[in-house]
Amino acid sequence: MEQVDPAWLATDEGRMWLAKIDLAKAWVAFLGKFKFDCWFTLTFRNPAQSSILAIDRAVRLVNLVVKRTKIKVSAFIVAEQHRSGTFHCHGLMRLGALSAEIERMILHYFWQIGLEMFGRNSFAMVRDSDAVRIYVSKYLTKKPADHRFVGCGGMGE
Q: Is residue 37 part of a domain?
A: yes
Exposure string (b/e) for 127-155, b if CB count within 10 Å is 16 or more? eebeebbeebbbbbbeeebbbbbbbbeee
Query: What percent of the chain lies above the pLDDT cut of 90?
Result: 39
Q: Is residue 155 part of a domain?
A: no
Instruction: Kindly report whether the global pTM for this prediction surpasses the value 0.85.
Output: no
Residue 89 β-bridge partners: 42, 79
pLDDT of residue 1: 45
For residue 53, give the CATH number of its domain.
Answer: 3.30.70.1910
| Residues in CB range of 128: below 8 A, 6 or more apart | none
43 near 117, Cβ under 8 Å? no
Query: What percent of the chain lies above the pLDDT cut of 70?
Result: 86
Its domain, for residue 79, covers 8-150
Domain count, the chain: 1
Under-70 pLDDT residues of the chain: 1-6, 8-10, 14-18, 97, 144, 153-157
Q: Rounded distance, CA 155 to CA 57, Å?
A: 19
